[in-house]
Amino acid sequence: MKKETIIIIGIESSCDDTGVSIIRNRNVLSNIIIHQEIHKKYGGVVPELASRLHDINLAKAVQQAIFSAKINQDQIDAVSFTLGPGLIGPLLVGASFAKSFSMGLGIPLLTVNHIQAHVLSHFIQDANLNNCYPKFPFLSLVISGGHTQIIKVNDFFQMEILGATLDDSVGEALDKIARMLGFYYPGGPMIEYFSKNGNDKKFIFSKPRVSGLNFSFSGFKSDVFQFIKKELKKNTLFIKQNLYDICASIQKTIAEILLEKVQKAIIITGISRIVLAGGVSANSEIRKIFLYFSKNQKNKKFEVFIPKKEYTTDNGAMIAITGLLKYERNLFDSIHVTPYSKFKKF
Ligand code: KG4
Ligand code: ZN
């Protein structure tokens, strides 16, 4: 007989955030995220340090998640965890923990593809600003620190990549530019913060010309680097005096690059349901521009699903919901699975 209530614990450890969440059916009971502040001063994630901190944080996060969810651990039906892609050390720590947890409690194991989880986070109850689930098929723009992809989603586990970055991901480019401007890692939120009071038309940066639905952010990043270096030669205080405008102009250009590709994808596929996902989709200018153009373009209107901020950056809830959707389809995994760092096809 089908169980009416399914409780899943989701474990995320693919990069620097330790995320553990407990969901009951599609409702989030707890969503604990422990950020690793140590990477700030290094300007990026140091894999060895991230692995050690996941090792320290995971047990704490699991205890907190169970406590906040107000359940007993023997009520958990299955454990899901990120198998890849991501940093191999951090993934191995999460995998070992999840396997032990599953063996200790005698419950099934569910492995999750991190990118798929970003997309499927929209199936958490009330996960997006529309407060409803996107209907299939839809196009998902996944914009994170590790990836930039346009994915055609035909069904929960039938996804097809239509375009991807040929070099840097959008988050990576933002983090590198932010570092040059003197910000800590992760730089995306800092660029957003300083954009607020800036003039986004003050500086013009060239947009990459990439065919089809692919992206390239390395050229854009170099363009910004060259421009700032040139200006610094003329005026050593250039960054300080123009910080707000530089950030606002960068943010606006990136939002436009993403929007233009998605508009192209809508024309090519005829699908006009757009689902934003990944850490960079927390950005308010990107959210604003997509919302505005979804409503205000004659003959080119589209429906856009904007994720709630808590489900944009890495979190355990997106791993738990993906686990739940796999559980419902009996897509269980063996204890012998091993993590992978590079993206594999879905
Ligand atoms: O999805 P995510 O948490 O991790 C990966 O799967 O990579 O994304 C992290 C990325 C980082 O590059 C970070 O700078 C960026 O998301 N990010 C933002 C914002 N919040 C996080 N970028 C722009 N604006 C934000 N508010
Ligand atoms: Zn992610």
Q: Is the Cα torsion angle 279, 282, 288, 293 positive or negative in sign?
A: positive
pTM as predicted: 0.97
248, 268: one domain: yes
Check whether residue 33 and residue 110 sit in a common domain.
Answer: yes
CATH number for the domain spanning 119: value is 3.30.420.40
Atom of ligand 1 nearest to the CA of 146: 7
| Number of structural domains the chain divides into | 2
Three-state DSSP class for residue 226: helix
Which residue minimizes the CA distance to atom 16 of ligand 1? 279
Report the nearest atom of ligand 1 relative to the CA of 186: 14
pLDDT(82) > 70? yes
Nearest CA to 291 out of 250, 249, 244, 255 is that of 255
Q: Are residues 290 and 266 in the same domain?
A: yes
Residues in a beta bridge with 11: 20, 81
Q: Each residue of 109-157: pLDDT tens digit?
A: 999 999 999 999 999 999 999 999 999 999 999 999 999 999 999 999 9
Closest by CA position to 278, among listed 105, 181, 93, 150: 150
The answer to whether the CB of 316 falls within 8 A of the CB of 19 is: yes
What number does the ligand 1 atom closest to the CA of 172 have? 12
Residues 157 and 293 grouped into a single domain? yes
Same domain? 321 vs 294: no
Neighbour-count burial of 252, counting CB atoms closer than 10 A to its CB (0-12 exposed, 13-18 middle, 19+ buried): buried
216 pLDDT above the threshold of 70: yes
Q: What is the pLDDT of residue 1?
A: 67
Could you tell me if residue 30 is inside a domain? yes
From the CB of 189, is ligand 1 less than 6 Å away? Answer: yes
Q: Where are the beta strands (DSSP E) in 256-333?
A: 273-277, 303-305
The structure tokens listed for 207 are 């947009």
Asked whether residue 344 is assigned to any structural domain, the reply reads no
Q: Whose CA is nearest to atom 22 of ligand 1?
A: 188
Mean pLDDT of 205-228: 95
| Residue with CA at minimum distance from ligand 1 atom 20 | 189
Q: Residue 307: is the preceding peptide bond cis (ω within 30°)? A: no
Domain of 104, in residue numbers? 7-123+311-328
**DSSP-derived pairing of the beta strands 303-305 and 273-277:** parallel
Residue 27 sits in the same domain as residue 144: no
